[in-house]
Amino acid sequence: MGDIVEMLDITKDFPGIRANDRVSVRVRKGSIHALLGENGAGKSTLMSILFGLYQPDSGRILVRGREVNISDPNVANALGIGMVHQHFKLVHNFTVTENIILGLEPRRGLVLDTAKAAARVAELSKLYGLDVDPNAKIEDISVSMQQRVEILKMLYRNAEILIFDEPTAVLTPQEIHELMAIMRRLTAEGKTILLITHKLKEIKAVADTCTVLRRGKLVGTVPVADASEAGLAQMMVGREVNFSVSKTKAQAGAVKLSIRDLCVRNAKGLLGVKHLSLDVRAGEIVGLCGIDGNGQSELIQAITGLVPVESGTILVGDRDISKLPVKARLDAGLGHIPEDRHRFGLVLDFRLDENMVFHRFQSRPFSRYGILNPVEISRYADRLISEFDVRSGEGVATPARSMSGGNQQKAIVAREIDRSPAVFVIAQPTRGLDVGAIEYIHQRIVEERDKGKAILLCSLELDEIMDVSDRIAVIYGGEIVGVVNADETEENELGLLMSGSLRKAE
Ligand SMILES: Nc1ncnc2c1ncn2[C@@H]1O[C@H](COP(=O)(O)OP(=O)(O)O)[C@@H](O)[C@H]1O
Ligand SMILES: [Mg+2]
């Protein structure tokens, strides 16, 4: 079979970075072609070029053997290329059908016939097994259904080349399986799929071919049947990767963090956390797992003092910290790696060393009698940045703003681990980090556990939760719907808990 898309020697520069460096990809018609690479490898850029959102600085694109100039997404649409973005672009108070026909010009002299459009949507939905109700309002349907609406939007426009940018990031394991089945039906009907992902399992499960990018460059293209997960990981990272977090069985001691009957209001004023109780013991890692938006942010922010508690208690040791200001909670033995490192983790206008002593600059040796000691501060920061391999252009004097996200995150992790709190609340510790840094941070978290720290780990990455935790608490609709031992559960059970279809007492 011929190649439906050929991207040849594509180069794209952004200020200060070559996002794509002479990358070539050839995609066979009717295949599922994965694009694999770490954060920032240039995957989205390459696909945005194919979809006409960016123009390449050099290189050629052939679609169905003909050279094309995809100057904007309308040209891409006309060529039969569609894209489902990481963040959906749907109007929430419109129906499915209204969203799908939005932006399509009614033919001259005809009014757009919504009923006819709805019938076509229903037909497409049936053909590909999408199970979407054409008349449902977007605000009333799940994220996974919204994604299917985006798929229908492409199909309605007769797209034949479908680009998915990290489509499984927002889905439960069950929904991921369903999406894969949908992808297979799409290719069975002759569609071609380009799938961006950094998840090796998904590639093994569904893709025919995989192209690997690293730092903007093409590493290679391989048939998936011949590639192992370890082999793909090595191509992605450039060295051998140790997947499994090495740890011994937890030696859990006394309860160090105890949350009792906690209620917290969310930004809409509703109860985002409802009568939630959870214990974390010394020497164990409890993973908090759930689909984004089920109360985990409110819970973490309530524990760390970023939002007020409506009712209930939060004990660190035997002290109720639920009404204390942030600083007093830290002094009571709480450590926090925040999910939003910009809002709560670093002061971007401060230097790296200033950020490293952020909670402690008022105490010795960093200051005496109210006078800062810059030598001690830099010496301390120097030690941490070399120990945690934080890379910054100008060493400790680098402004936090000019560091990459991964290095900002490492700096926060270094600072919080070094404070050595008894209770550690860690949210999304590896988001945006490369595999090497992830390995390192996971190992450090386990080391903290082995020193007897009580750790609550909140992550949207199910693999991270399963690999690092000793026990897993699943949150759904602001409640803990199950607590399971990490070595006695599997993805399927967690997925059922996460979607609210199963409840399991401890
Ligand atoms: N619009 C943009 N402006 C400037 N830099 C960008 C832009 N889009 C992406 N980049 C940079 O280009 C590189 C590749 O990014 P991207 O294609 O998004 O990677 P991936 O999708 O593989 O994570 C990154 O360093 C990113 O910061
Ligand atoms: Mg991307």
| CA distances in angstroms from 309 to 147, 289, 296, 331, 335, listed in the order given | 34, 21, 14, 19, 18
Same domain, 400 and 439: no
Same domain, 176 and 191: yes
The range of the structural domain enclosing residue 484 comes to 242-333+421-506
Low-confidence ranges of the chain (pLDDT < 70): 1, 105-112, 243, 342-344, 432, 505-506
Give the single-character DSSP code of 55.
-
Token pair belonging to 201: 């399992």
Give the pLDDT score at 252.
92
Residue 20: CB within 6 Å of ligand 1?
A: no
Model pLDDT for residues 102-129, shown as the tens digit of each residue: 877 555 445 567 888 899 999 999 999 9
Give the pLDDT score at 404.
72
What DSSP line would sit under 218-230, residue for residue? Answer: EEEEEEGGG--HH
Same domain, 112 and 159: yes
CA of 196, closest atom in ligand 1? 21
Residue 45: CB within 6 Å of ligand 1?
A: yes
Give the pLDDT score at 267.
86
341 inside domain: no
The answer to whether 411 and 362 are in contact (CB under 8 A) is no
Token pair belonging to 197: 């992902």
Overall domain count for the chain: 3
Residue 211: CB within 6 Å of ligand 1?
A: no
Same domain, 373 and 394: yes
Nearest protein CA to atom 7 of ligand 1, as residue: 14
Model pLDDT for residues 152-191, shown as the tens digit of each residue: 999 999 999 999 998 987 788 889 999 999 999 999 999 9
Last residue within a domain, chosen from 237, 261, 284: 237
Give the pLDDT score at 423.
97
Nearest protein CA to atom 24 of ligand 1, as residue: 40
Edge-to-edge strands of the sheet including 161-165? Answer: 66-68, 58-63, 3-14, 17-28, 217-223, 209-214, 32-36, 192-197, 161-165, 81-84
Same domain, 196 and 275: no
Nearest protein CA to atom 9 of ligand 1, as residue: 45
Residue 14: CB within 6 Å of ligand 1?
A: yes
Distance 79 CA to ligand 1 centre (A): 25
C-alpha span between 193 and 203 (Å, rounded): 12
Same domain, 414 and 445: no
Last residue within a domain, chosen from 390, 420, 450: 420
108 inside domain: yes
Same domain, 45 and 110: yes
Residue 40: CB within 6 Å of ligand 1?
A: yes
Same domain, 362 and 383: yes
Can you give the CATH number for the domain in which 202 is found?
A: 3.40.50.300
C-alpha span between 326 and 332 (Å, rounded): 10
Residues whose Cβ atom is located within 5 A of ion ligand 2: 44
Residue 41: CB within 6 Å of ligand 1?
A: yes
Same domain, 461 and 395: no
Same domain, 203 and 259: no
* Tally of CB atoms within 10 A around 308: 11
Last residue within a domain, chosen from 368, 388, 420: 420
Same domain, 120 and 40: yes
342 inside domain: no
Same domain, 44 and 16: yes
186 inside domain: yes
339 inside domain: no
